[in-house]
Chain A
Amino acid sequence: MNFGILVRMNRITKRFDELRAQNSKGLVIYIGAGDPDLGTTCKLAEAFSDIGVDVLELGVPFSDPLADGPVNQLSAQRGLASGTTPLRVLETVRAIRSVSEIPVVLYIYYNLMHRRGVAEFVREAASAGVDGLLVLDLPPEEGGDYLRLMREVGMSAIHLVAPTTPEDRIARIARTATGFIYCVSREGVTGVQDKVSQDVPRLVASVRRHTDLPIAVGFGISNPEQARAVAAHADAVVVGSAVVRLVETHATNPDAVSKVREFVGSLLNAIRKT
């Protein structure tokens, strides 16, 4: 019996169940926590929640983000400069929870959890109201304790599947993952791309053979047209760097949140129509 489910239904699972019932596609929005400061992160979360973003993916800033392209690297640097620690990110999620039930996933590098103690961090995150973790550099092979702890608290362990992931590995990841599967649309780091990879339909199809979990596609999706095109093949679309770039552009603008909200709204319109 899963104790977490007795306490509350995981918000990610609940949201994807609703989307499926409405035959609708989901939108996952990534921002760097603490960029330019955690107050803005909180306001952005509230705005995303208001307009119906399905999952908020919060990047926890790390000094050495080796899976990230320049846009998210600089965002992490600004996050660190504003004094953003993993524990302050959890406090921010707690603050978001006082105004919103938006599902929240932390995008995190393993060392930040490892330093705190994996068990302790997982429990603290769950109690702050985090719904899932995407640990960039923790493959299932190294994740024994982590996966058990995540099950115990009812948080989703989000895993990546890449274009280089062979079929037998996809099967293994699908058995391990909960919440949703995050398909990386192309080989490379996070970042804005002019064109979305042609491989997406094939990759999503091979993941689909191994799981009923929702499949989200991300890395390089940066405008409504691309989002719509990808949504045709997946259950959800992840947009990150394009939003991060907008947050940066408007960092000193008092209307920053509404500018970002407007852009994210256009992404939502694009995918809800598919």
Chain B
Amino acid sequence: MNTSASPNLPDELGHFGPYGGRFVPETLMHPLVELEKEYTRFSQDPEFQKELDYYLREFAGRPTPLYYAERFTSSLGGARIYLKREDLLHTGAHKINNCLGQVLLAKRMGKTRLIAETGAGQHGVATATVAAMFGFKCTVYMGAVDCQRQALNVYRMRMLGAEVVPVHAGQKTLKEAINEAMRDWVTNIRNTHYVLGTAYGAHPYPMMVRNFQRVIGDEARRQILEKEGRLPDLLIACVGGGSNAIGLFYPFLKDESVRMVGVEAGGEGIVPGKHAARFQGGSLGVLQGTRSYVLQDEHGQIQLTHSVSAGLDYAAVGPEHAWLRDKNRVEYTYATDDQALEAFLRLARTEGIIPALESAHAVAAAIERAPKMAPDQIIIVNLSGRGDKDVEQVAARLKF
């Protein structure tokens, strides 16, 4: 071990230092213990891994390219920028990696129904997709505001046979969708598996989702060594709950020379209610099963959030990210809505790649940092999803 940010976490109760754990109503405690046991058993089973590898390759389209973005790089005049093309996966984002893992687990656990929350709709689409392919019933909870701004994904889920339930509580975005999914799970625990979409929630979810997403970093590490013969200097990923970021970062944690930046949603600026940058305006709290950084008021009520990207519009951040920040292993910054939109267009026009608005936050950080780095340095940006779902919203906002 050559770093203080131990990759051996979480501990047996799901803690990453002071973060993580299991804070749920009693009805969910035993099912979570069972899920952890089953996950641990199958993750050590070569047959399970073989089956997962098969579907990742043949169905989802792995490995994804690590693409040298030459024109984007030269437009910035600094470090060489590689894009990890998770946007090319089936269903359009990294979410499918985790959904395939969880559906195989659900199948082995004898469950017949999948439920999920979704923000941008990418996780909902991926869950609906694996449900269709493996013959599960599927219900997806989505905030009513998100249903509107990501309407394309609502249609996709319905076409795939899933029931999409718009959630009208609170601010009608991702947090409320998770509350509703947890209520469904608590009610239908015997036959239902909850496919949580990010590295958040009660143990074992943050660990399990990370492990299903680490394929991103494992591939990227191998690919950059092949292409450049050395490790990258900087990794950049956007952080909502944090699954694409932890997936990229985790396999590099022991590589001390590799710096990492997680990019949160700065929204309209760091003013309460106008952003979703938990490390800027948040404090230690317990929300939806885990202890982490949470945007909350002085009484412990969860604050409103805002981001142009539905997938980053969430009041808390995955517990492992809080831990990696404490250990100074990962730096967390933010990009505003405007910066993300600018990055969205810039990548589209220099590379012919339209990124998801979530991933555009990571691209924005690359735009800021690359010019300050030497031309022989290397950045890998996780292009976690494609922007098809966002074109209507961006067109309206930028008056196309």
Question: Chain A: residues with CB nearer than 8 A to chain B?
Answer: 62-67, 69, 73, 80, 85-87, 110-116, 136-139, 141-142, 159-166, 169, 173, 184, 187-189
Is B31 a contact partner of A67 (Cβ separation < 8 A)?
A: no
The answer to whether A63 and B183 touch (CB under 8 A), given A137-B25, A187-B27, is: no
Is B175 a contact partner of A142 (Cβ separation < 8 A)?
A: no
Is A64 a contact partner of B170 (Cβ separation < 8 A)?
A: yes
Is A189 a contact partner of B300 (Cβ separation < 8 A)?
A: no
Question: Chain B: residues with CB nearer than 8 A to chain A?
Answer: 13, 21-31, 169-170, 175-176, 178-179, 182-183, 186-190, 283-289, 291, 294, 296, 298-302
The interface residues of chain A lying within 8 Å CB-to-CB of B298 are 115
The secondary-structure label for the interface of chain B is mixed
The answer to whether A69 and B183 touch (CB under 8 A), given A86-B299, A110-B286, A111-B296, is: yes
Is A64 a contact partner of B179 (Cβ separation < 8 A)?
A: yes
Partner of B294, one of A67, A111, A113: A111
The interface residues of chain B lying within 8 Å CB-to-CB of A184 are 26-27
The interface residues of chain A lying within 8 Å CB-to-CB of B13 are 141-142
The answer to whether A64 and B300 touch (CB under 8 A), given A110-B23, A160-B25, A166-B30, is: no
Is B26 a contact partner of A160 (Cβ separation < 8 A)?
A: yes
Which residue of A is nearest B301, CB measured? A63
The interface residues of chain B lying within 8 Å CB-to-CB of A80 are 301
CA distance A163 to B13 in the complex (A): 22
Is B302 a contact partner of A63 (Cβ separation < 8 A)?
A: yes
Which residue of B is nearest A87, CB measured? B299
The interface residues of chain B lying within 8 Å CB-to-CB of A163 are 27
Partner of B23, one of A62, A139, A165: A139
The interface residues of chain B lying within 8 Å CB-to-CB of A66 are 25, 178-179, 182-183, 288
The answer to whether A189 and B186 touch (CB under 8 A), given A63-B301, A162-B27, A169-B30, is: yes
The interface residues of chain B lying within 8 Å CB-to-CB of A62 are 300-301
Which residue of B is nearest A169, CB measured? B30
The answer to whether A161 and B299 touch (CB under 8 A), given A137-B286, A187-B190, A189-B187, is: no
CA distance A115 to B303 in the complex (A): 13
Is A188 a contact partner of B299 (Cβ separation < 8 A)?
A: no
For the complex with contacts A67-B186, A164-B189, A184-B26, 6 further pairs of A-B residues with Cβ separation under 8 Å are: A63-B170, A111-B286, A139-B24, A142-B21, A164-B26, A187-B188
Is B299 a contact partner of A73 (Cβ separation < 8 A)?
A: no
A61 to nearest B CB, angstroms? 8
CA distance A164 to B29 in the complex (A): 8
CA distance A70 to B287 in the complex (A): 19
The interface residues of chain A lying within 8 Å CB-to-CB of B31 are 164
The interface residues of chain B lying within 8 Å CB-to-CB of A87 are 299
The interface residues of chain A lying within 8 Å CB-to-CB of B287 are 64, 111
Which residue of A is nearest B299, CB measured? A85
CA distance A165 to B170 in the complex (A): 31
A75 to nearest B CB, angstroms? 13
CA distance A166 to B26 in the complex (A): 11
A177 to nearest B CB, angstroms? 11
The answer to whether A142 and B170 touch (CB under 8 A), given A62-B301, A69-B183, A86-B300, is: no
